[in-house]
Amino acid sequence: MVDDQPPVPPLVALAVAVVAVSTSAILIRWSHAPSSVAAFYRVLFTTLLLVPVAAWRYREAFARLTTRDWFVATASGLALAVHFAAWFESLDWTSVAASVTLVQTQPVFVAIGAVLLLGERFNRRMAVGIAIALLGSVLLSAGDFLTGGVFAGADPLYGDALALLGAVAAAGYVLAGRSLRQHMPLVPYVVVVYSVCTAGLLVWTVGQGASLGPYPPREWLLFLGMAVGPGIFGHTVVNWALGHVESSVVSVTLVGEPVGSTLLALVLLGEVPPALTVVGGAVVLAGIVLTARSRPKAD
């Protein structure tokens, strides 16, 4: 652990983070801007909110970055850009319940990547957890597709595939940034990675021909809300927690996001997920928990 006595209990911080990230899908759905624009401004505003802190307190940390560190940070930031691009777009095509649950399968792909790329041991419980999560993903997608319900989305299979791509990219972000986070303070780390992510999203947005503005005040408030809530109090707090508790604990805690997002979508958007989608989502979450708890504790 980086700090045996952090100023805030890590589990309390994680609870706040889960609530914050659970609002992300709702804010995205409320926005009428193209998904690429919403993703770009969310990360841009998050970065701008953190830059003054990084410049004030962590100048030396930037000076110590090596060429390898910059390479790793770039790879991590680009993977994060793919994650945001794919996931934001998925919410245009499938239900909140399906999108948020599938993108949260990240720990499964982190476990697979850690075995293939980092030489971690692959045990039987991990294999069972991954198999359960994959089975749940099939059931969840079938629930949206077979019912053809009004809340399934315009093309649920395409949206589900984008959410899974977002999960794979998020796993790449975690795996690429792991070594950098071990010797770099949180704020400089996320500022560097978020800056690269912002640049990647800008290229993607401009490449799509989407307009960066002007937008009505309502949209700017939503962009800012995405940055402050899911960005600062969500993902940045999660990154802080990784310095104080094992990543398996963080991964298991974050399975609360699909539950929170689904409940918020039910109340605020009127989205009632099909029964098979709910069952599939529960199976996916069970697989994530088993996979995360089965990984080596030295992570």
pLDDT digits (tens, 9 = 90+) for 247-260: 667 777 777 888 88
Q: Tokens 């399934």 map to which residue? A: 152
**Residue-number span of the structural domain to which 48 is assigned:** 10-294
Mean pLDDT split into 10-residue runs, the chain, 299 residues: 65 88 93 95 95 87 86 92 95 86 83 76 78 78 58 74 93 82 82 94 94 93 96 87 72 79 88 79 81 62
- In this prediction the pTM is 0.84
For residue 9, cis peptide bond before it (omega within 30 degrees of 0): no
Q: Is residue 128 part of a domain?
A: yes
Contact present, 259 and 286 (Cβ < 8 Å): no
Q: Is residue 1 part of a domain?
A: no
Q: Is residue 5 part of a domain?
A: no
Q: Is residue 22 part of a domain?
A: yes
Residue 257: other Cβ atoms inside 10 A: 25
pLDDT digits (tens, 9 = 90+) for 15-53: 899 899 999 999 999 999 999 999 999 999 999 999 998
Q: Is residue 171 part of a domain?
A: yes
Q: Is residue 220 part of a domain?
A: yes
List of residues 6+ apart from 100 with CB closer than 8 A: 25, 163, 257, 258, 261, 262
Q: Is residue 213 part of a domain?
A: yes
Output the pLDDT for position 153: 59
Encoded amino acid at 289, one letter:
V
Output the pLDDT for position 152: 54
Q: Is residue 4 part of a domain?
A: no
Q: How many domains does the chain contain in total?
A: 1
pLDDT digits (tens, 9 = 90+) for 113-129: 877 877 767 778 878 88
Output the pLDDT for position 149: 47
